[in-house]
Amino acid sequence: MVRKSFITAVFVVTLGILLGCHGTSTQVEYTQYELEYRLISNFGNVFYCDPDFYPVAQVGREEQNALDQFPTIRSNQEEFAAILKQLGLPDKTDYTASEKVLIYREHKKLALAVQMTPSGDLYGFTLRVGEGSGERINGTVTKSGQIKVTQRESSINTCPICLSVGTLIDTPDGPVPVQQFKTGMSIWTVDEFGQRVAGTIIDVSSAQVPAIFQLVRITLEDGRIVTASSGHPTAEGRALGNYQEGDMLDGAAITTVEHIAYYNGLTYDVLPSSSTGLYWANGILLRSTLRQK
């Protein structure tokens, strides 16, 4: 009887220990924003285009946007808590203007550096690392922070300053959509004397567009329309995003300037074989963003 009681006691104690271990051990789960920070820390040098400095930086714009957007950023409690933890700031009633700028910069990083898609008990993610010749990385991350890379591929990581898909470029053989060009194809360009001449394509480029991106669409009084990144230069070397209604562009007055969402993934540009780098896009004379190698 004593032996049986001893065995029973040992079993109960052992079972209690086992249950105690399993019952008290909890797996940490992170919020989406904490997971984004873990991904950024893991891969490093994450690339994204800052809308306050690209394509055209304006003095004081970031500071003003930080103040304007602070109430909205603060209303997202999970994101705000992750940002405060990242910056080492306390949760308090009010923040200085400089602290709001720091918080706003972290908000931009979380919103633009990593694209997260919830899927059951984990998130799918996409991010880019390295500027210029870098990588595009796809993978999954569990709520406990376990990262799995499913695809890594080479990527040209630049902020797009190019033309929208379908833009027609003038050539001796007729208009050609910009995305169809290959090196060696013919194109109308302008020589150093300002004369229209036939040239060849010596370089083509495409740039991945961030998830949140807008193009500028300019309409001229004669009906010509061009849609491109705000930073794309005209023949004068002026960025399209700096034009306003009433300004002159390629000999005609601008009637409307619109900023539109762009969902086609890539923008494009070509480089003609001329010293000017000029070509006609939808009948409007523009300058290539590419340079001779």
pLDDT tens by residue, 131-157: 878 898 999 999 999 999 999 998 777
What whole-number percentage of the chain has pLDDT above 90?
Answer: 61
Cβ proximity of 139 and 146 under 8 Å: no
pTM above 0.75, yes or no: no
What's the mean pLDDT when you consider all of the chain?
87
pLDDT of amino acid 7: 45
Count Cβ atoms within 10 A of the Cβ of residue 204 and give its class: 0-12 exposed, 13-18 middle, 19 or more buried. Answer: middle
pLDDT at 54: 67
% of the chain beyond a pLDDT of 70: 87
Instruction: Delineate the domains of the chain, giving CATH numbers in brackets.
Output: 32-157 (no CATH), 168-287 (2.170.16.10)
Local structure of 274: helix, strand or coil: coil
Residue 282 pLDDT class (50, 70, 90 cuts): very high
Of residues 70 and 157, more confidence is placed in 70
Angstrom distance (rounded) from CA 205 to CA 228 = 14
Write down the pLDDT at residue 210.
65
Q: What is the mean pLDDT of residues 11-39?
A: 67
Q: Which helix (H) or strand (E) holds 148?
A: strand 147-157
Which pLDDT score is estimated for 56? Answer: 58
Cα 145 to Cα 104: distance, rounded to the nearest angstrom: 24
Position 206 scores a pLDDT of: 86
Helices (H), the chain: 2-24, 32-43, 61-75, 77-87, 97-112
pLDDT surpassing 50 at residue 18 = no
Cβ atoms 197, 190 nearer than 8 A = yes
What is the C-alpha R_g of the chain? 27
pLDDT for 293: 54
pLDDT at 292 over 80: no
Please write the tens of the pLDDT for every residue from 94-128: 999 999 999 999 999 998 889 899 988 899 999 99
pLDDT score of 55 more than 60: no
Residues 218, 243: contact at Cβ < 8 Å? Answer: yes
What is d(CA 202, CA 200) in angstroms, rounded to the nearest whole number? 6
pLDDT in tens, 205-255: 887 776 557 789 999 999 999 999 888 889 988 888 889 999 999 999 999
